[in-house]
């Protein structure tokens, strides 16, 4: 397990203004965790993916029809989310 | 009188879409002319293969498939929003009409309302 | 420091049930944290999140009852849960003490949730190693 | 038809007090409509707007008490005000009838607000010449 | 008093996704009424003003520090808002 | 420990900003290091000459002027957001520090939190 500087936890749809704020705040060494409506970014994320590892809550992704989209983000469960929060030095819930 | 109920929020993360659907079903139950328009992030209501057992919420796909039965006249999806979210007709639930000009659609209805 | 040191979490919930998914996501996180051996210092409800402490919430029988689920989780794991007094009073969530003080017709706080000041949140940020916020989505 | 024909308004409030400005804007509009000689067919609370009908809301004494202001306005002008039953039950707003039915510890609907189905809203859209929605801002 | 086809009532800040949806829906013969946080558009509206008459609730504008911005929009009170809703054939609350 | 409380919603239309300010004041009351960052539409909190008698709400300008007294260490305003909203130092309340790189500011604090 590598260390994460800041884990950005985002639960807003891509149109929400806080999504852009979050994306602007991500830096090298950070990680991004998509939860709830934020998993909709899986249909939009591509070349312009942020310079960070991207995770998404599997149950939220599958509920919204993104069961097969493991390529753009690592689908994780809540035990993995807990591990990420423990690994990260800082947390920001957007 | 004809009413267009607009859903521009995605399912599951907030309740606004469900409450919009209840409004449409209520109008239909009173034999009032009503259609649904999905726009913005709301088009994600229409994505096929939503599996909600993991989030303890009922799938909205079932609600949508009931819409014609309850008397909702049409379900429109904003064409541009679908493109933004990578939604193609094959990847969407059945019975959806594409709306290339949602502003025009609103002007064609007597009432246009959001649930919140 | 091991790869996965045990943490003491404070959770802050600011989104309401049946309006946002916040209480639901927070509960899934809380259960996973306890299962992994971490501890929860406390749960603090703020803003619209105070509605999670309502004793009158009555969802349809085929929907999850988030206030009850949360109350049972807190009791089983002996975790303190507090709703911010300023947020709660404005939004119509009161305990028997506030009911008497303001001569209100009823009280509606679901045990074991209590009403407390923002100092509870400050103490949580000081006492715990991680604070996780669960806001309304959108 | 004159330049300013008298209208019969139905108002729908979906934003909660102390979270959104919706109940405040709606009341200013309602007062102006009545002053101009228009009528209000009814006021319907939907979604988070049902919190406006709380009998337990207790804002600080130097802030406007929006549920009380609305209740007084409705009583003085004999305007029906209804909160959607499905929105209200989920969010913990219940009357004495629902309290008995679901064996709840209290009820908290502020008179003259009543609890009613979405049919009240449908009837409002049919009976009135204008329907105005007051949503949460952001 | 001229007739208004659709009165668009907007109460969201300029960043809110519904603001863009509203602006896209405005057509010739419509009018736009800014209320609550939407009056913040007064600092942004300019050349690209929509092809519609723009009104703003005066008390909301003044509260947010826009007492002098009468050039971009007509500041109105609630009696005027009632008149606008009566004049308009259709209303959309965004 | 140092906390950055972020306000990205405008005043009056929602309560989130007021509740964020209460969080900052509470931390300060417990002698914890805390600063405020206004970004996005939240920079409109800082506009001078807010006259709220017409909307039955207290002016947030008074709350902000109390921030240093209560022990809030700094009030930052995102430079880009200020430019978008036409906010210049002359048109803003006193005591604000411009923040040209808000991401960096967040990384400098132990905790970063929104009120909702």
**CATH number of residue C105's parent domain:** 3.40.1260.10
The neighbouring-strand residues paired with A34 are A10, A56
Range of the domain at F39: 2-114
Is F35's pLDDT higher than 50?
Answer: yes
Residues of D in contact with B9 (CB under 8 A): none
Classify the C-alpha dihedral F113-F39-F15-A41 as positive or negative.
negative
E77 reaches D (C-beta below 8 A): yes
Average pLDDT, rounded, for chain A: 91
> Which CATH number do you get for residue A68?
3.40.1260.10
Other C-beta atoms closer than 10 Å to the C-beta of C89 total 23
Q: Is D84 a catalytic residue?
A: yes
Q: Report CA A4 to chain centroid distance, whole Å.
A: 13
Is B103 strand, coil or helix? helix
CB contact under 8 A, B106 and E6: yes
Residues of D in contact with C86 (CB under 8 A): 60
DSSP A76: E
Chain B touches chain F, with at least 3 Cβ pairs below 8 Å, answer no
Determine the Cα–Cα distance for residues A77 and A83; give it in Å rounded to an integer.
10
Tally of structural domains, chain F = 1
Tally of structural domains, chain A = 1
Cβ-in-10-Å burial (0-12, 13-18, 19+) of C76 comes to: exposed
Contacts of B62 (CB under 8 A, 6+ apart): none
pLDDT, one tens digit per residue, over C41-53 is 999 999 999 999 9
Residues of C in contact with D106 (CB under 8 A): 55-56, 105-108
- Residue D95 inside a domain? The answer is yes
Q: How far is E66 from chain B (nearest CA, A)?
A: 27
Determine the Cα–Cα distance for residues D122 and D128; give it in Å rounded to an integer.
10
Residues of F in contact with E43 (CB under 8 A): 85-87
CB contact under 8 A, B112 and E18: no
Predicted pLDDT at E48 = 55
| Residue of C43, C52, C84, C85 with catalytic role | C84
Q: Report CA F113 to chain centroid distance, whole Å.
A: 12
- Mean per-residue pLDDT for A49-76? 85
Determine the Cα–Cα distance for residues F64 and F35; give it in Å rounded to an integer.
12
CB of C117 closer than 8 Å to CB of C124: no
Is D63's pLDDT higher than 50?
Answer: yes
Residues of B in contact with C20 (CB under 8 A): 13-15
Predicted pLDDT at A69 = 56
Other C-beta atoms closer than 10 Å to the C-beta of B57 total 18
E17 reaches A (C-beta below 8 A): yes
Tally of structural domains, chain C = 1
For A1-94, strand residue ranges (E) read 4-10, 31-34, 53-57, 74-76, 88-93
CB of D126 closer than 8 Å to CB of B3: no
Confidence band, pLDDT 50/70/90 cuts, at residue A71: low
Residues of F in contact with E64 (CB under 8 A): 10-12, 44, 47, 50
Considering only CB atoms, C122 lies closest to which of F30, F114, F116, namely F30
- Residue D1 inside a domain? The answer is no
**Token reading at E57:** 């609730």
B67 reaches D (C-beta below 8 A): no
Residue of C nearest to B15 (CA): C19
Is A36's pLDDT higher than 80?
Answer: yes
Residue of F nearest to E59 (CA): F54
Decide the pairing of beta strands E74-76 and D8-13.
unpaired
pTM across the whole model: 0.97
Classify the C-alpha dihedral F20-A35-B15-C88 as positive or negative.
negative
pLDDT, one tens digit per residue, over B59-107 is 999 889 999 999 999 999 999 999 999 999 999 999 999 999 999 999 9
Q: How far is D79 from chain C (nearest CA, A)?
A: 23
- Span of B22-26, C104-108, D3-7, E40-44 with lowest mean pLDDT: D3-7
Cβ-in-10-Å burial (0-12, 13-18, 19+) of F97 comes to: exposed
Range of the domain at E35: 4-93
Confidence band, pLDDT 50/70/90 cuts, at residue C1: very low
Considering only CB atoms, D64 lies closest to which of F9, F13, F56, namely F56
Range of the domain at C60: 8-134
Pick left, alpha or beta for residue C18 (phi over 0 → left; psi -120 to 50 → alpha; otherwise beta): left
| Residue of D27, D71, D79, D84 with catalytic role | D84
CB contact under 8 A, C133 and F113: yes
Confidence band, pLDDT 50/70/90 cuts, at residue D138: confident
- Residue D31 inside a domain? The answer is yes
- Residue C2 inside a domain? The answer is no
- Residue C1 inside a domain? The answer is no
Phi and psi torsions of E87, nearest 5°: -70, -35
Predicted complex: ipTM over 0.90: yes
CB of C81 closer than 8 Å to CB of C74: yes
> Which CATH number do you get for residue F21?
3.40.1260.10
CB of C26 closer than 8 Å to CB of C134: yes
**Token reading at E12:** 């969201």
Predicted pLDDT at F9 = 97
Q: Report CA C71 to chain centroid distance, whole Å.
A: 9
- Residue D3 inside a domain? The answer is no
pLDDT, one tens digit per residue, over B11-65 is 999 999 999 999 999 999 999 999 999 999 999 999 998 999 999 999 999 889 9
Size of interface C-D (CB pairs under 8 A): 100
Determine the Cα–Cα distance for residues F49 and C68; give it in Å rounded to an integer.
47
Q: How far is E89 from chain F (nearest CA, A)?
A: 27
Q: How far is B5 from chain A (nearest CA, A)?
A: 20
CB contact under 8 A, A27 and F8: no
């Amino acid at each position: 397990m590598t260390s994460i500087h800041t884990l950005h936890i985002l639960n807003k749809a891509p149109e929400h203004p806080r999504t852009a704020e979050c994306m602007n705040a991500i830096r090298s060494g950070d990680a991004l965790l998509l939860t709830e409506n934020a998993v909709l970014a899986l249909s939009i994320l591509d070349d312009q993916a942020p310079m960070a590892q991207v995770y998404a809550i599997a149950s939220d992704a599958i509920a919204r029809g993104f069961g097969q989209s493991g390529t753009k983000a690592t689908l994780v469960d809540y035990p993995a989310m807990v591990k990420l929060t423990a690994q990260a030095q800082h947390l920001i819930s957007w | 009188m004809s009413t267009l109920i607009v859903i521009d929020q995605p399912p599951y993360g907030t309740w606004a879409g469900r409450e919009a659907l209840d409004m449409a079903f209520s109008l239909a139950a009173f034999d009032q002319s009503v259609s649904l328009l999905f726009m913005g992030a709301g088009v994600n209501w229409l994505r096929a293969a939503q599996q909600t057992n993991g989030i303890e919420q009922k799938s909205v796909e079932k609600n949508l498939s009931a819409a014609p039965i309850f008397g909702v006249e049409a379900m429109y999806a904003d064409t541009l929003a679908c493109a933004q979210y990578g939604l193609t007709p094959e990847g969407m639930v059945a019975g959806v009409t594409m709306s290339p000009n949602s502003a025009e659609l609103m002007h064609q209805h007597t009432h246009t309302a959001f649930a919140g | 420091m091991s790869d996965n040191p045990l943490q003491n979490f404070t959770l802050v919930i600011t989104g309401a049930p049946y309006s946002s998914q916040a209480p639901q996501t927070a509960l899934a996180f809380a259960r996973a944290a306890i299962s992994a051996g971490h501890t929860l210092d406390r749960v603090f409800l703020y803003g619209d999140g105070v509605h999670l402490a309502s004793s009158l919430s009555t969802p349809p029988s085929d929907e999850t009852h988030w206030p009850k689920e949360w109350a049972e989780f807190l009791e089983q794991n002996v975790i303190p849960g507090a709703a911010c007094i300023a947020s709660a009073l404005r939004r119509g969530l009161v305990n028997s003490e506030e009911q008497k003080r303001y001569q209100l017709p009823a009280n509606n706080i679901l045990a074991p949730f209590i009403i407390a000041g923002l100092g509870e949140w400050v103490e949580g940020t000081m006492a715990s190693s991680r604070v996780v916020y669960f806001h309304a989505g959108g």
